[in-house]
């Protein structure tokens, strides 16, 4: 797999953000992870070879420090939906980041952003769909 | 007109009161329960406790019939999302956002919030208007603004440089309380001569302030 290594900025270093940062770093990508809570950086593995930026992703200066203008991708995985929605839009519109994805916890809010050109992922909807699918599978299996 | 104000604290109360007094119908959305109770007691308009960045709460507030939404929370992300949802989902024609980080103003405009204003910019420009130039610093109102204390620096070109305080003839109501020259600080008397490079602590009533500055600097703030 001689794919080009990507420069990925991840907003939020909580459970999801740190998981992404560790995985992508292990895959050989250049990762910058942004969080305003310094203690969250403890979630990063010892093998994590990327950079950490301490700051609020809703602040311009912080996004600049993460060198967003050079990023191939931004993944907004902070706890607050609105931080993710703002960081994602600023990344796409102002910094012209080619690929932008945002975690949006609230499915109602996620829907509202469908008309904007942001890829959103709603963990609640994903998990819910998975549960329903498995339940249906089990039912069909039981009947067969 | 009907308008929604999303925010918290006193700013929301005073904005709502102001709009109500002009015959508008403000609807406040505030996430803080205590704020809401207090607001509901103090003013007649509708107060909704909730997250003003949530589609359901905006719907409940009647966003569809509103002509404007004003988002003034201390968080830029919340102000942005409230405005975008109001415009995008409910067709609110005018959205205004407070931008806490002044560097976000341009981004807000690019993201469709037509009116984005920064308190930092507003306050800075107010102070600049008051002071006019950097020869005056530390403008500090005391006694509810009935007296003003400021620090004035004299330059070569300042008319007061070379004059004694007595020759200067400051207007009634204004006083140079202190003269800072190099490392030294003194309380000047009428015979003391002012010089370029001096920093003066000027205390005065609002009425005497302009004339005093004109005597000292040749121009008014």
Structure ipTM: 0.87
Tokens of A89: 């839009």
Within a 10 A sphere around the Cβ of A104, how many other Cβ atoms? 24
pLDDT in tens, chain B (221 residues): 999 999 998 889 889 988 988 889 999 999 999 989 988 888 878 999 999 999 999 999 999 999 999 999 999 999 999 999 999 999 999 999 999 998 999 999 899 887 888 877 777 766 665 555 566 665 666 776 678 788 888 888 888 888 898 888 899 989 998 898 888 888 988 888 999 989 888 888 878 888 888 888 886 55
Determine whether the interchain pair A106/B53 forms a contact, defined as Cβ–Cβ distance below 8 Å. Answer: no
Give, in order, the Cα–Cα distances in Å from A16 to each of A13, A47, A103, B58, B157: 7, 17, 9, 29, 63
Closest residue by Cα to residue A10 from A89, A80, A101, A85: A101
Closest residue by Cα to residue B147 from B173, B111, B120, B129: B173
Tokens of B2: 């009907």
In this complex, is the C-beta atom of B54 within 8 Å of any C-beta atom belonging to chain A?
Answer: yes
In this complex, is the C-beta atom of B155 within 8 Å of any C-beta atom belonging to chain A?
Answer: no
Give, in order, the Cα–Cα distances in Å from B33 to each of B9, B53, B185, B219: 11, 16, 52, 51
User: A128 phi and psi, to 5 degrees?
Assistant: -60, -45
For residue B171, the SS3 value is coil
Determine whether the interchain pair A82/B54 forms a contact, defined as Cβ–Cβ distance below 8 Å. Answer: no
Model pTM score: 0.71
Tokens of B57: 């709460």
Residues in chain B closer than 8 A to A85 (CB atoms): 77, 80-81, 84
In this complex, is the C-beta atom of A59 within 8 Å of any C-beta atom belonging to chain B?
Answer: yes
Closest residue by Cα to residue A96 from A62, A59, A69: A69
Residues in chain B closer than 8 A to A60 (CB atoms): 101, 103-104, 107
In this complex, is the C-beta atom of B80 within 8 Å of any C-beta atom belonging to chain A?
Answer: yes
Determine whether the interchain pair B81/A109 forms a contact, defined as Cβ–Cβ distance below 8 Å. Answer: yes
Residues in chain A closer than 8 A to B104 (CB atoms): 58-60, 90
> pLDDT per residue over A17-40, tens digit each?
999 999 999 999 999 999 999 999
């Amino acid at each position: 797999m001689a794919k080009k290594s990507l420069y990925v900025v991840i907003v939020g270093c909580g459970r999801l953000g740190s998981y992404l940062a560790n995985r992508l770093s292990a895959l050989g990508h250049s990762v910058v992870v942004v969080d305003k809570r310094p203690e969250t950086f403890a979630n990063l593995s010892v093998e994590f070879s990327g950079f950490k930026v301490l700051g609020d992703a809703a602040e311009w200066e912080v996004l600049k420090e993460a060198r967003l203008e050079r990023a191939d991708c931004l993944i907004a995985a902070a706890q607050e939906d609105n931080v993710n929605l703002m960081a994602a839009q600023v990344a796409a519109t102002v910094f012209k980041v080619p690929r932008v994805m945002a975690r949006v916890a609230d499915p109602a809010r996620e829907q509202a952003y469908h008309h904007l050109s942001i890829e959103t992922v709603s963990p609640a909807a994903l998990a819910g769909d998975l549960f329903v699918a498995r339940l249906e599978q089990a039912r069909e299996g039981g009947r067969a | 007109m009907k308008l929604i104000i999303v925010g918290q604290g006193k700013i929301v109360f005073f904005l709502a009161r102001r709009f109500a007094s002009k015959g508008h119908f403000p609807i406040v959305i505030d996430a803080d329960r205590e704020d809401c109770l207090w607001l509901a007691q103090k003013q007649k308009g509708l107060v909704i406790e909730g997250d003003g960045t949530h589609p359901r709460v905006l719907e409940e507030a009647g966003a569809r019939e509103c002509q404007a939404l004003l988002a003034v929370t201390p968080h830029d992300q919340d102000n942005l999302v409230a405005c975008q949802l109001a415009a995008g989902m409910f067709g609110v024609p005018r959205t205004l956002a407070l931008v806490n980080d002044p560097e976000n103003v341009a981004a807000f405009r690019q993201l469709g919030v037509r009116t984005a204003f920064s308190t930092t910019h507003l306050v800075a420009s107010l102070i600049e208007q008051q002071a006019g130039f950097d020869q005056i610093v530390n403008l500090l109102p005391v006694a509810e603004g009935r007296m003003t204390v400021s620090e004035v620096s004299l330059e070569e070109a300042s008319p007061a440089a070379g004059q004694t305080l007595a020759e200067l003839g400051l207007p009634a109501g204004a006083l140079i309380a202190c003269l800072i020259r190099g490392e030294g600080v003194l309380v000047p008397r009428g015979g003391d001569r002012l010089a370029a490079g001096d920093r003066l602590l000027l205390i005065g009533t609002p009425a005497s302030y302009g004339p005093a500055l004109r005597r000292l600097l040749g121009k008014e703030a």
